[in-house]
């Protein structure tokens, strides 16, 4: 029993990071119907911003987190402005290829600056508590609570604010909404800012939990988070959160009870099966193609 609780805690930590990254994919898709394949690499850049903030600027935890979120959020806006906006009317495959290119560009730039894996200093003192046999670390608590706080905040922004309403309107219909006086470009920029800064928050927390970072760390995580977004129903924000936690739980539980070699194999088989029965994801709805 204690063992399963301990593993659930591990799953919660991993799942909340996946959920935060998955949100970036789903938000961009929701508004532009485009998959931002550079998102995993923006997550990596977030981890490196955390490294810069903590090592060179010697910032404590909260300013480091804000520094990373702000920096990467602005980077996301710039990328959208320079790389994606000129292609908004182009065939969708051009945008996807551009996104892949942006991802490789980010990896290469970071590789030139930091060719070696870097070590993140300890920002949160490592305290472990023993709660009825379960070992809980200060870091785990912070990661889980902070992720949930960010998720709740995002849900509030999207559902209860004007920007959120505009986002939802644009994702509903991108041709008519501008005619109503909604500043589309501004809203899209805001979406990129929020989506990538959540990715940066995930990157920062990931870097604190697993303090060895390298320029390629975002690739596999990015794929996994993308799959979470698809499983949850791409374009749906709550779906991305659910998808993230599902993958976290499945991955940890497979490694906990079966030979860990099977982990990715079983996790992705389960997700495939799920998609067979719900091709639009758990919370996704079919979008009829408008002719």
Partner 1 sequence: MKKTALMFSLLMIASMILSACGGAAGGNTIPVGGIGELTGDIPAVGASFKNAAEMAVQEVNDAGGLEVGGKKYKIEFFIEDNAGKADQSASAAQKLITQQNVVAIIGPNASRYAIPASEIAESSKVVLITPWSTNPKTTLDANTNQPKKYVFRACFIDPFQGRVVAKFALDNLKATKAAVLYDVASDYNKGIAEFFKQTYEENGGQVVAFETYTTGDKDFTAQLTKIKEAQPEVIFLPNYYSEVPLQIQQAHRLGITAPFLGSDSWGSGELLSLCGSDCEGYYFSTHYAPDNATPVAKKFIDAYKAKYGSTPDDVAALTYDAFGLLWQSLQTAGKVDRQAVRDALAQIPKYEGVTGTMSFKEGSGDPIKSAVILQIKGGKFVFFANAAP
Cβ within 8 Å of residue 168, ≥6 positions away: 158
Closest CA to 26 of 241, 262, 255: 241
Which residue number, 119 or 159, has a Cβ lying nearer to partner 1? 119
Q: Is the distance from CB of 75 to CB of 45 less than 8 angstroms?
A: yes
**Residue among 219, 220, 224, 215 at smallest CA distance from 45:** 215
Q: Is residue 24 close enough to count as binding partner 1 by CB under 8 A?
A: no
CB of residue 264 to partner 1, shortest distance in Å: 7
Beta pairing class for 212-213 and 134-137? unpaired
Token code pair at residue 269: 């088989």
How big is the CA angle at 161 (ends 157 and 164), to the nearest 5 degrees? 65
Name the one range near partner 1 by CB under 8 A: 63-71, 137-145, 147-155, 190-198.
Answer: 137-145
User: Per CB under 8 A, does 125 bind partner 1?
Assistant: no
* Residues of this chain, 211-270, that bind partner 1 according to CB under 8 A: 211-212, 214, 216-217, 220, 251-253, 255-256, 259-261, 263-264
Q: Taking CB under 8 A as the rule, which mask of x and - marks residues 177-216 in contact with partner 1? A: -----------------------------x--xxxx-x-x
Report in angstroms the alpha-carbon separations of 275 from 37, 223, 224, 238, 287.
Answer: 20, 16, 15, 17, 16
Q: Give the shortest CB-212-to-partner 1 separation in angstroms.
A: 5
Interacting residue ranges for partner 1, rule: CB under 8 A = 3, 6-7, 10, 13-14, 111, 115-117, 119, 122, 126, 128, 130, 135, 137, 139-140, 206, 209-212, 214, 216-217, 220, 251-253, 255-256, 259-261, 263-264
């Amino acid at each position: 029993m204690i063992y399963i609780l301990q593993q659930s805690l591990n799953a919660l930590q991993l799942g909340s990071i996946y959920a935060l990254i998955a949100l970036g994919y789903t938000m961009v898709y929701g508004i532009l119907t485009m998959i931002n394949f550079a998102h995993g690499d923006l997550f990596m850049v977030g981890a490196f911003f955390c490294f810069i903030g903590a090592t060179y600027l010697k910032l404590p935890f909260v300013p480091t987190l804000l520094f990373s979120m702000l920096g990467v959020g602005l980077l996301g806006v710039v990328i959208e402005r320079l790389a994606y906006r000129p292609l908004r009317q182009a065939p969708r495959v051009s945008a996807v290829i551009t996104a892949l290119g942006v991802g490789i560009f980010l990896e290469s730039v970071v590789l030139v600056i930091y060719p070696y894996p870097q070590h993140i200093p300890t920002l949160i003192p490592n305290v472990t508590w023993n709660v009825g046999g379960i070992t809980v670390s200060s870091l785990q608590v912070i990661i889980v609570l902070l992720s949930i706080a960010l998720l709740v905040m995002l849900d509030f922004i999207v559902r209860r604010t004007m920007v959120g309403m505009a986002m939802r309107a644009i994702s509903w219909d991108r041709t008519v909404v501008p005619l109503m006086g909604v500043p589309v470009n501004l809203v899209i920029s805001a979406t990129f800012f929020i989506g990538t800064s959540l990715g940066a928050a995930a990157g920062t927390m990931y870097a604190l939990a697993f303090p060895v970072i390298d320029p390629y760390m975002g690739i596999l995580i990015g794929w996994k988070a993308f799959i979470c977004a698809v499983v949850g129903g791409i374009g749906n924000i709550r779906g991305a959160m659910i998808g993230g936690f599902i993958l976290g739980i499945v991955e940890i539980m497979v490694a906990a009870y079966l030979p860990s070699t099977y982990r990715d194999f079983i996790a992705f088989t389960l997700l495939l099966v799920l998609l067979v029965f719900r091709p639009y994801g758990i919370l996704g709805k079919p979008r009829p193609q408008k002719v």
